[in-house]
Amino acid sequence: MSSRKNQDQNAQIEALSALRSTLSVKSGETIGPQDERVALVVQWMESSPGAHDIFELWESSNQSSSQSLLVSLLSSVLTLLYSHFPYHSHGIPIIKTLLSPKWMRRITSYVSGSNELILISLKLLNAISHFGGGRERKTLFEAFPWDINVYNLALVLRNRFQPQSMLSDLDEAIELHRAALLLRSPGHFD
């Protein structure tokens, strides 16, 4: 029985990985209105409004690899949906769910987790922050438990880059700093 369960979990992780790869959006990438990924996400959201299937999987997931995949997938979905106004209506239910106390606690708990979960969580928070022209930034800022963990991780990665010159560390540090800065409320200078 447990062998069957492990096979199902492995197949699920493979399917989620393939979907994440398909929907992945590179930093600074321009997403055209005819992008196949946008069409795929819109079709998916029409059959599963609010991405309830992803939230169900996330709720039952206790493996960090699955959690990372699901958070990354939601980030990509929101990024694709906020790229063009006509698709915002598909993303609003996802945003509302993510901003609920239950899901914000879960997302922010990842900020003190593994480096991968931290970065992916910050990317998701960044996608929420950008969605709808930043309409939910204030709500997001108020829901986010600000502590020094995010800043410390970015500094560690930046410092680790200096002696080893690993570009991936520098890129990750820059991404963390940007995500943290975008979550500040307007007029906040720290």
Angle (CA) 54 59 63, round 5°: 95
Q: Where are the domains of the chain?
A: 2-24+34-136
* Average per-residue pLDDT for the chain: 80
Q: Is 87 helix (H, G, I), strand (E, B) or coil?
A: helix
Q: Which helix (H) or strand (E) holds 106?
A: helix 101-110
Segment 129-135 mean pLDDT = 83
Average pLDDT over residues 55-79: 90
Summarised one tens digit per residue, pLDDT across range 107-125 is 988 876 666 787 888 889 8
Taking each helix axis from N to C terminus, what angle separates 167-182 and 149-164, rounded to the nearest 10 degrees?
160
State residue 152's pLDDT score: 64
